[in-house]
A and B are shown apart, each in its own frame.
Chain A
Amino acid sequence: MTKLLQTLVDGISVGSLYALIALGYTMVYGILSFINFAHSDVFMLGAWFSFVISRAFGWAEVAPPAWSIALVLPASMVLCATLGFTIERLAYRPLRAAPRLNVLITAIGVSLLLENTGALPFLFGTQPQSMPRLIADRPLATIAGVNINVVDVVVVVVAVALMMALQWLVFGTKLGRAMRAVSFSDKIAALMGVNVNLVISFTFVVGSALAAAAGLLYALKYPGVKQPADASWVLLGLKAFCAAVVGGIGNVRGAMLGGLLIGLVELFGAAYVSTTLRDAYVFLVLIAVLLGRPTGILGRAAVEKV
């Protein structure tokens, strides 16, 4: 029972991280219909930016103050948002009219570029680093033998707060309406006076900022920050993309649901079945869901027109 509840707590915490990353994938897919492979690297850089900022303040040696996360989080989000804007402007916008496969290959190229630039010796190097503990590593409460760690609470609270902000942004503002309009049809949206390029740029900014937040939270939960070119970052990104697909790609609520589901399945599988198979559960869930509902749990079937 204790194990079950503990896995549940961990699963929710990891799942909300997946959800945050999945949102970036799903928003880009909803508008431009391509898998932004570079998103996992924006997430990776979010973790590394957070590490570099924390180290610059000397929080590796002295205990960080309570407000440290309130400084690192926005700083890392702004940096990654700028990066996301730049990537879209320089690499994807020239390909707006090109076949989707080309955009996809470009995305792989951008992904490789970010990874290997990050791994340069004068940037982040090829050594794993240990993230300073901005949040005390202790249980906040222990209920029936289940440790609810401060880190997990912070992860879930920040993730939920950001997702609520996004929900408001997409469904409650004029810009959000423009985003939904472009995602429905960019041509019609343009005819209605929506600045499509601005909306696409904004989507990348928001998605990258969310990925940066996920990067920081991930580094807080797992303080061993792997080197930028490590394959595990891309794998994490791919799992998050699977979460977006499972929830129904292009659907903001679907990404949150899918992320949570994937996180829970992965941790329960690792705890109860086999740890070695951990990387496979996500894809098994994905295939099972897609065979039953080809457009994901919350996705709507697209009507194909001749």
Chain B
Amino acid sequence: MARPTDMADAARRLSPPLGGSIPRSLLPLILGVIIAVLGQLLVPAVGDFYYTLFINIGINVILAVSLNIVNGLTGQFSIGHAGFMLVGGYVAGIITYYGSYALWGSTKVIEVFLGPGEWLFVAGSVVGGLVAAACGYLVGLPSLRLRGDYLAIVTLGFGEIVRVLFQLTTPVLKGDDLAAASLGQKLTSLGGAQGFGAIPRYTTLFWVLVFVTLSLLVAIRLKRSTYGRAFLAIRENEIAAEAMGVNTTQTKVRAFVLSAFFAGIAGSLFAHQLATNLNPRELGFQKSFDVVIMVVLGGMGSVSGAVVAAVLLTILPELLREVSGYRMIAYAFLLIVMMILRPQGIFGVRELWELGGKKKS
């Protein structure tokens, strides 16, 4: 029999006080910001093509890392990630487009590094992430009753419903219409099937890298925390996890909320970047499939695997651009061969830094 003090001691060791975790999170965060500043300064010198490519890589990394929380760590199967992206992108777009008009009477980009425009964009991204997280809560709730593929098909349905709803909106308001419009009109004038093209283009590599750092930090710290162990327990065996006292529904919903939050942020970064228009058609189930492929290819639950897969799968289409007609065929073929030859993904369940050591789950 363990004495109560031993038990308390063990409990304290399992969940370290908050004071210990702050420096452990702060250092990587500072490092991430430094890298972000360097990236913002150095990459444009290389060329616009690489600047856009880096932004795309960053957005895909956030998407893959966030979906990895639901699909990889918790073992639930979500194929509605693009739906959360759409929600985040549109909410952030409303805030930056209609918000900057309300604040400054213009919808133009304020091109000052860390200027008021950029802070509005960051606030919009976070609010977009929060609204997406609220949607994640709604989508996660049916996991109380639905399991496996049924939950998957509900997430798919969510993505498609969101897409169709945004296609229903009326064209974006401009000029005099904008000045006269009520709040309700603004909220339903999001461009419809043509997409929300008027969004001011605030996405810079700096902010992409900052959010990449944040999502990586959360994902890695989460995986080692008690919450993360609850996620892993559900993935390995839901009944056993429940028997061990894990509140499975609550934990699954938590995974969905967290995952949707970062998907919403990625959506906002996607919406505000120069190269693409926020269009419901582009963020349909195919985009969700792309992200699922990244997670599975990287290895279920491996954060570094998701990052590597996201980077590879963003660069690969660019490399295959020469043979454009055969590009998707080669991609599909690689996917099938990869699944047959290395079913556990690039890293399996391990992380990059665990590869040399003994097998760890």
Contact = CB atoms under 8 A, between A and B. Distances in A.
B285 A113 contact: no
A106 B339 contact: yes
B99 interface: no
Contacts of A279: 160, 163-164
Given A35-B149, A116-B332, A290-B154, A102 B296 contact: yes
A294 B339 CA distance: 30
A193 interface: no
A216 interface: no
Contact of B157 (A99, A109, A111, A287): A287
Interface string B151-169: 0111011101101110110
Contacts of A140: none
Given A245-B150, A279-B160, A283-B160, A113 B336 contact: yes
B340 A294 contact: no
Nearest to A111: B332
A286 B157 contact: yes
Nearest to B297: A105
Interface size class of B (residues with CB under 8 A): 35 or more
Interface stretch (A11-19, A90-98, A196-204, A256-264): A90-98
Nearest to A295: B150
A287 B292 CA distance: 21
Nearest to B163: A279
A231 B331 CA distance: 17
Among the interface residues A111, A278, A279, which one has the most CB atoms of the partner chain B within 10 A?
Answer: A279
A109 B289 CA distance: 10
Contact of A242 (B157, B331, B333): B157
A306 interface: yes
A39 to B, nearest CB: 14
B20 interface: no
Contact of A276 (B158, B167, B284, B325): B167
Contacts of A290: 142, 145-146, 150, 153-154
B336 A110 contact: yes
Given A112-B332, A116-B332, A286-B153, A276 B164 contact: yes
A48 interface: no
B325 A117 contact: no
Among the interface residues A91, A101, A117, A121, which one has the most CB atoms of the partner chain B within 10 A?
Answer: A101
Given A98-B343, A105-B296, A120-B325, A113 B333 contact: yes
A280 B149 contact: no
Given A113-B329, A290-B142, A290-B146, A102 B339 contact: yes
A235 B288 CA distance: 13
B286 interface: yes
Contacts of B292: 105, 108
Interface in B260-305: 284-286, 289, 292-293, 296-297, 300
Contacts of B285: 234-235, 238
Interface in B318-343: 325-326, 328-329, 331-333, 335-336, 339-340, 343
A234 B89 CA distance: 25
Contacts of B154: 286-287, 290
B77 A116 contact: no
Nearest to A280: B164
Among the interface residues A33, A95, A110, A280, which one has the most CB atoms of the partner chain B within 10 A?
Answer: A280
B156 A238 contact: yes
Contact of A109 (B158, B284, B335): B335
A291 B142 contact: yes
B335 A106 contact: yes
Among the interface residues B160, B300, B325, which one has the most CB atoms of the partner chain A within 10 A?
Answer: B160
A277 interface: yes
Given A94-B340, A102-B296, A277 B164 contact: yes
A294 B150 contact: yes
A223 B154 CA distance: 32
Nearest to B237: A306
Nearest to A106: B339
A58 B48 CA distance: 52
A180 B340 CA distance: 28
Interface string A238-276: 100110010001000000000000000000000000101
A61 interface: no
A241 B153 CA distance: 9
A234 B285 CA distance: 9
A91 B329 contact: no
Contacts of A120: 325-326, 329
Given A102-B296, A116-B329, A91 B164 contact: no
B296 A91 contact: no
Contacts of B181: none
A108 B328 contact: no
B110 to A, nearest CB: 35
A74 B161 CA distance: 37
Among the interface residues A112, A117, A121, A235, which one has the most CB atoms of the partner chain B within 10 A?
Answer: A112
B103 interface: no
B289 A101 contact: no
B239 interface: yes
Closest 3 CB pairs of A and B: A283-B157, A109-B335, A112-B332
Given A35-B149, A287-B157, 12 more contacts: A91-B336, A95-B339, A95-B340, A112-B328, A113-B333, A113-B336, A120-B325, A231-B286, A242-B153, A279-B164, A290-B154, A294-B147
Interface of A: 29, 33-35, 91, 94-95, 98-99, 101-103, 105-106, 108-113, 115-117, 120-121, 229, 231, 234-235, 238, 241-242, 245, 249, 274, 276-280, 282-284, 286-287, 290-291, 294-295, 304, 306
13 contacts: A35-B149, A101-B300, A105-B292, A106-B340, A109-B335, A113-B336, A116-B328, A231-B284, A231-B286, A287-B142, A291-B142, A294-B145, A304-B239
